[in-house]
Structure formats: C-alpha cells, structure tokens
Structure 1
C-alpha cells in the first residue's frame, strides 16, 4: 500500500483568515481582554500559540484559564489592538507615533516576532527627523540591532544635526547610553571637538539629574583638540560641576598647549583626531616653472584631492618628515629678494624649519638647523630628526650631520658623514639610518656607496655598494627590505633591493615609467611615485601620473594622474580629519583611475 504526504499552501493563511473573521463576529471567543475599559474578544488557543505570556496565563492550574474576562492594566489600548491584529493576521501596523505603545505591548506579552518587526522598522525608517527618538526607543526596549543602527546614524549625521536648532533640541533628549556611545566614538565626521563639548554641556544642563553622569562623558572628551580659550572657559564655568579628575585632564591639556614644540611626543587619545584618515601630503616643489605654495592632500583609497594648507614659504630641494602626526618642513631653497631697487628674486638656501599641526591647521616655526641645507636627506629615529649632508651656502657641499631634539627644540651636532655629499637618499630600517649615492665634492659622477648609522654606537659603517651609481634618487623601507629608485641623469629605469641582514643588493625589474624629481611615499607596503620629470628629446618633460610599486610581486601599475605637472615635491603620510577647516571643502576626483 502506498502513502503520499501532500501540502496545501493556502490552508495556513485560510485558518488565520477564519480566526480573524470569528473574532470580528464575536464567534467562539472564549476570553475578553480588557484595557482601560475597552474590551477585545479573542480565542485563548490562538493567543497561547502566539504569546509566551498567554501560554503561561492559560495553563490549566491558573484562574485565568477558566476566566471569561482578563484585565491587562499595564498595556495601552493602541498597543494591545496592534498586537492582537498581528496575532490574527500577521500584519503589524507601525508608525513612529504608535511604535512605543506597540513595543510595550509586544514586550509585555512576549510576542517575539512583533518585536523583531518593530526593531526592523526603526532601522529602516531612521532619519534626521526622528533618529534621536528612534535611539531612545531602541534603548528603552533593548533592541540591540536597532541601537547599533540608530546610534551609527546619529554619529554619521551629527554634523547636520548640530546645524539645526530644532534637531539640536532632539539631541538634548537623547538617552545616556547613546550619548555615551557618541562621545566615545573615534569616527565622528565633520564635527569639531569644541562643537561636541558644547553639545555635552547643553545635554547635561537640559536635565540636571544628568549631572551625575558628567564625569563619564568628560572622560571621553579629547581636551587636547580644544583651543586654549575653550579650555579656560570650561575650567572656570560653574554651570556643570567638574570632578578633580576632570579638572586634572583640563590642566593636562593646558600644559599640552603651553609646550607647542613638545606636542609631537606628547600624543595620546586626548589629542588624537576623530574620524582621521590617512592622506598623502604633497609639499613644495614646482609646477609649470613656479614654486608651489599650496600643500595638497591625496586620498589614495578614494582617489580624491583636497587643499590642506599653504606653506609659510615656497621651497624646493627641501626635506619633510612626520613625528606624532605633525609635519616638519626643513631647509631647501626659497625665493628671496636680493635687490630692493630691481626687485630681483633669487633662490637662497635656508635652515628654517616649520611644523604643521593638522589638528588646528596651524604652522609654527621651530628651532632652525645649525646649517643651511638643500639637496640633503633627513630621517626620524626614536622621535629625533637627523639632517645629513647636502649643499650649503655658496654651493658648499656638506658632510655635517645634526639632530633635532623635539623635547628641547634644539639642534645638536652628530657624527659627520664619511665624506661631503649632496643629492644622496636615506631611509630607516630597524632604527638604523641608511644613506646611498649622491655626489662628492669635486666629483662629476654619482656614487654607489652605502653607509649605515647606529645611533647607539654613533658611527657610520660602510655597507655593500649599490650596483648602480645614483644621484637625486630616493630610498624606501618596505617590510625587511630597502629599495632604491630612480635618480637624476639615469639612462635606465632599474631599481634595486637591499637585504640588510645579508648586506646584499638585488637588481629588480625595471619600471616602465622613467622619472626624476618625483615624490615618493610608502602606503601599506605599496611604494607610490607622484609626478616628477623625465627626459624626452634631450629635454626635461614634466609627468603627471601617479604610479604604485608592489614590492611583494615586483610590479608597477599606474594609479591615476595629478591635476597638473608637479615636480621637486616631497611626500609624507599625514592623518587628517574632515573637520579641520569649516565645511565646504572641495574634493577633486582623479582622472584615469586604476586600482593598484
């Protein structure tokens, strides 16, 4: 004998439809639920199947199991009506106006599917008009997914909410948990720390009972990002009481501002930008024969440009470095007026050092180098800046080395190079400085020599020479290897890799993009070359493309193009926020985009 199991898709829906019809006609209803004098006839069996609360209520040993009327005193009429409709039809009527009542009923009656629908409704309908209300509802009923989603929405759109007085009033009604999440966030776009502090102060004063939470909020304020006058006003104000620990944080920030030259080595969470992203900054050099004053930023991930700042003085043949996310611009050649009568301009070698702070978009001049230098090299070891060799006054070639102590804002002499040299390149590998190539005094040809310097030993040590003599080239450290790239007057495009462990050089695949006077920077194990010049028909021709070198696979790929020919620049990676300068910053997409 054969048996078959058949399934009817429509039967389940038909049963629900019939139950709803019976309820609307009052037939076979064996219980009436009463809320605030409103009576709702229902069927115990269906209620028990849909709600853990009713299943427990209608068990055989309870008095409600035999009662014809059950009073529910903690549920609103609207909430119960919506949940009963859902139990009988699977449809839940939702709006921001009735959501709290519906959720209250769903949670009390333990109708889990309805709670999930309410949570998803909050996530899908969160906008500028209701995001704070949505976060409050999600927190009140502990809807985890909705809490995460609404708080993320508020954080991402806080800069808009703070521009609207009406929206700010909604922010003042935000619950404590969400406010804490907001203040602790590392990723708040387009909002100054001062604006965030003002919101905290208003939020605390909006409901004085919140003052008990002031300490927890202030502990997450980044006081190092606040201007001096704001810190002083906060310390002396009386509207919001400050604990001793918070006052100590403010005093620490005041001390931070009082020692501007030490700031790079005083970095911690309280002076770290929120929503900071890595940008490649392009500093100095020339475009179309004119020295460039603007410092540009390039977002290598999104291929966008931004204007960062202006140099304090135009410069070329300079060096740059970064300590504690502060940019230093050292030496080089700058234009100076050498004749008041003819207004004649000449390029003069300088020893001036400027430092840029992306937190406040500010430049300061720090201690000048002991010697004026151009076409030199610099490195950072243990937060000390080493300036080496180069060309000084009246074209004199230098062998001197000097060290900048950030904590003291002073330059001191270090062990001289083994020879006078300019146009050399340098890099750091495991706290050892490596220099290569360049030209010696009186020599026309470039050098292959390589030296290393150990700070602890204070001596220069000769290493295996490069296979190619180079001048005006660049070096980069990637993982455990050191690479040398193209220089000036090189009739080839070969690059080399140096293994410090075995003191050995390896010639790598030539690159197809010949160039010199380019910018170079390392971003996540990829070496980027930006702009520069190349030789074509015995002439220097500017290049605009940005190319990337994959050190692991020894291959090159074009990424995109600069907006204009740019050469003689120096590049570094700087972390910046989009809240540094007031709104409306123009971003420019790159042409010829390719992914490296």
Structure 2
C-alpha cells in the first residue's frame, strides 16, 4: 500500500476566514449575541471560542447556554473593532479608537489583538494602514492579561461557570513563562479550589510548579481528605459564588404506599421541578438538615411498616457541588417519626419511634468536625410525630403523640444552659403536623388529633407563636385540613408540600404558599407525585444545578390514602 502524502493549500486558511467573515457580515448562522453599552452584536460561538479565551471558557462551561452575553466596561466601538479583527485578521487602529479597542480585547482576552494594539502604540514609523509586530513591553502585556484574568474570574464566578473550566483557562495563561509566576498566587487566590474534586486538582498541581508553593491548593486537598468535617472547615472559598435557593422534597410515601427515593428541587420563582439525585435508599418518616451548604438525611424507614418496628440510624450527606453522597457517623439511636434540626454548627435529633415502635425521649447531637454523635438532655416525655423548628438560636418542639394521646406541649431547648424550658402550650393538641419559623413568628399548620370518641380528626386551624410574648394566636383564615405534610419557611413565606386528607383518604400533590400580607394559601405547583411522610427544606443549589424550565411536571392524580 502506497504512502499517503498530505497536500496543503496555501490559500485555504484565508478563504475559510473570508467565508466565515461573509457569513458574519450577512448575519447568517449567528448563534450568540454580545452586548456592550446596549448595542447588540450577533456572532458565531465557534469563532468566538476559537479566538477569545474568555468566550472559550464561558461556552465550554455550564453558563455557555446563554444566547446573550453582556460585557461590562467596554464601548460598542471597541467591541466592533475587535470582532472585525476576529473575522478578518485585520485590526483598524487609530489614536482615537486605541483605548476602546484595547479594553475590548482585554475583556475578551484576545491576545493577538492586545499585541497589535501594543505594537501600534509603540510604533511611530509604521506605514499608513499597516500595523507591524514590533517588539513590545512584555510586562505591559502581562499586566493587561493579569487584570483581564481577574475580571474574568469574577464575571465567570457570578455566572456559575464550573471551576475546572476557569482553572484550565488560568493555567493556559500562566503557561511556562517565569514572568507570570510572581502574580500567579494573586490570580489563583480568587479560585474556589475546594469546589473542585481531588482528581481535578491533582493533575494540574503536579504539572505546574508555581502551584506547589501556593498554600491555597494544599488547603483544598486537605479539605477533601477530611470529608466528614467539611461543613466545619467551610470557608468563603468552599461556597459557590452563584447559588439559587430552591425548595427540596425528599423521600416519602407515594401512590400505593410505594416509597420515594428521589431528591426533587423546585425553583421558587416559577414552580419548575427537577430531580437532582436519589437517596441511598427510599425513605419515609426521616428528617433532613442543611448545614454549611450540605444536606443531611437522617434515620427514617426504608420499608413500609405501619408499626415502625425497624427504623434506621444511618446518616447520609449530600454535596451539591459534585452531586455525591457520603455516609457519615450514624445516630446513637434508631429513629423514625422524629425531628432533626440544625442548632448552631451541629445537628440535633429529638425523640421519635425506635426499635419495635417504642417511643423515646432521647436527644442527641452531631458535630461534623469530630464526625460523632453524643447525648444531650432528654426531652421531657417520650414523643413521636411531633414538629420542630429553630428560631434565634433556640430549638422549639411542639405537639406530638405520647402515651396514647396527642400533645399540646411547646418546649424550647436552650443550648447554653443545656436544658428544656416549657412554653405556653398550643391552642390545639395535634400530631403529624408541621412547624416553621418565618421572620419573628413560628407557625403551626395541619395535623390530626383524637376526638372524645377516640376517632382521628383533622386540626385545620393554623396557629402562630410569638417568642417575644410567649403567646399563640389562631389564624382561621389560613386553615388547612392535612396531616403528615411538610412545611418550611423562607423569608416571609411558608411553603407546604404534600400531606394526606382523612376525609377523602387521598394523598396530596399540591404545593401551597402563604404570605402574611394576605394570610391565604395559594397553589403554586405540584409535586412530581402525591406524597406524605416526606421531608422538605430550602436549599441553595449551584447556578448550574437549578431546574430547567422544560422539566415542569403536569398535574398528577391523587392516590389512595393512607
């Protein structure tokens, strides 16, 4: 077989550039728009990504789906001049447009355009209409690149671009030039290294000598080596620069009492749902807690058992940056139908049903830095199906079921004194209800109680509690006949998800929100399926992990209850 000899066309690159330039002039096949000073410039992603380091990092990251890219701090004239260069290879410069052109080239990180601007600035004898590649001041070029890189990192962090993409961009800028190393630490210090995985950190660190002397990367690797303690080791560089608050719903009992193992996120702005992960095993009657940007799942039951004889003590932690689960130290007591909450920098588990369905008054606390649980002062009575919330550093537990009856007790735990304090009791005894704090008020919603005849009936009245006056007030305008529901407070709003109706024997799928201004429930969406005995919380997801609009769920049909 004869050897293949490649034939190279000397004119093809120029004709290709001319062809792409013609498409741009005609506005054909443009798929992105750059905006500067309110002026829009349609362009082609592939051309921008090929010539602009900023556009390449942006389009390859998760923020690259945007169709309009807003560029701050540059003038339309400068941007148009740089775009003409990208599509023609010719940069038209004059003393009048030099400053705007350099600035646009800086922001887009078009190195060749920056060099041509520097050459023009340093050349006074160049023929008219021609810019030569004369020797430039390398330190000046590096200063432009350094300032542009810093602004790029800030902009990309706000837009939610993944850190490995930014990291690769910075490394490509550093290259192997010793001139750049003195400023490397300043630039690299703006990267949030803990958000990168150990695999993403190891290779570039070993390959780049300047990184070996930078303390930021070893600290990031140490952060990953102590996985269980990460919430306690969290710093501003371990938090996403762009995060969106979402309503998470986890686990629960669905149609035909089938257990749900999904972790679903709803954007608060539009009711859009997306499944962001799965539990290690389907659960119900469990608890959730959010600590330092991590999500914890505690206890519960993994098999449907009305007697609740085999609860779990397992605890799993979800890392939203990498979408991974980590099993941490298990609770000292197996628990279901209990309350879990964040108190300070720790997680507390209160009461619940344990082995063989026996109720417990035990209380324990988890400290991530040691990855251990330890006992706290017991709750005043053995209790299950109670509700709780934290407010201004105190833990409040209300209602529940104990000794064959529903309770109206309200107790608060004082961490500094290590004791439980009785407060003014609920107006209505109830269990399987929900408690949430909003602003300076604690709200108690739903649940059920035993009638004098021994039958289960709903507690439809909503009560609100003022910690400053230790008084409850009944809000009859927002009554809600549901039990085994979940409620969370966010800013001045209450979000209720799922639950069950004793009257219709159905599970609910609606998501309700109530605002103090109107004191009425408003339907804002539907769960992916009807649920009860689930858990919910407000959780900040990275910008690139928020639900997509096309994944909105349709109205589900209710199923049998319980």
**Partner residue, 1:370:** 332
Indicate which of 496, 499, 514 corresponds to 1:532: 499
Superposed, 1:133-152 pairs within 5 Å as 137=78, 141-143=98-100
**Based on CA coordinates, which of the two structures has the bigger radius of gyration?**
1
The residue aligned with 2:206 is: 236
Where relative contact order (Cα < 8 A, 6+ residues apart) is larger, the structure is 2
Q: Deviations over 1:119-142 (max 9, x none)?
A: 759654466344876979459855
Q: Which among 404, 423, 426 is matched to residue 466 of structure 1? A: 426
Q: Structure 2: where are the runs of 5+ without partners?
A: 1-22, 26-34, 53-70, 83-96, 110-141, 449-455, 556-562
Q: Is the 8 A contact 1:418 1:460 kept in 2?
A: yes
Matched, 1:333 2:301: yes
Give 1:150 deviation, angstroms. 6.9
1:574 to 531, 535, 539: 539
SS of 1:334's partner is coil
Aligned pairs for 1:498-509 within 5 A: 498-509=465-476
Give the drift of 1:195: 2.0
Aligned to 2:189: 219
Who is 1:199 aligned against? 169
Deviation at 1:324, TM superposition (A): 0.5
Matches of 1:235 and 1:370, distance apart in 2: 41
Task: Tell whether the 8 Å contact from 1:192 to 1:580 is kept in structure 2 after alignment.
Answer: no
For the aligned residue pairs, the C-alpha RMSD in angstroms reads: 3.5
Q: Report the Cα distance in structure 2 between the residues aligned to 1:548 and 1:576, rounded to whole angstroms.
A: 20
Q: 5+ unaligned residues in a row in structure 1: which ranges?
A: 1-94, 98-117, 153-171, 339-345
The aligned residue for residue 555 of structure 1 is 520
Structure-2 change in CA distance of 1:451 and 1:148 (3 Å): farther
Equivalent residues of 1:334, 1:347 under 8 A apart? no
What does residue 185 of structure 1 align with?
A: 155
Instruction: Provide the TM-score with structure 1 as the length reference.
Output: 0.67
Deviations 1:356-402 (A, max 9, x none): 11111111111111111111112211111111111111111101111
Alignment partner of 1:233: what SS? helix
Contact 1:187/1:276 (8 A) holds in 2? no
User: Which of residues 433, 437, 442 is equivalent to 2:399?
Assistant: 437
Q: Distance in 1 between matches of 2:295 and 2:523?
A: 27
Measured after TM superposition, the shift of residue 408 of structure 1 is 0.8
Candidates 469, 473, 482, aligned match of 1:515:
482
Q: In structure 2, do the counterparts of structure 1 residues 512 and 484 end up closer, same or farther at CA, with 3 Å as the change threshold?
A: closer
Contact 1:389–1:421 (8 Å) recurs in 2: yes
Distance 2:293 2:174 in 1: 33
Q: Secondary structure at the match of 2:369?
A: coil
Q: 1:395 aligns with which of 346, 354, 357?
A: 357
Alignment of 1:344-493 (within 5 A): 348-441=310-403, 443=404, 445-488=405-448, 489-493=456-460
Deviation for aligned residue 1:512: 5.5
CA distance in 1, matches of 2:430, 2:264: 28
Give the Cα separation in 2 of the matches to 1:520 and 1:148: 51
CA distance, structure 2, for counterparts of residue 148 and residue 262 of structure 1 = 44
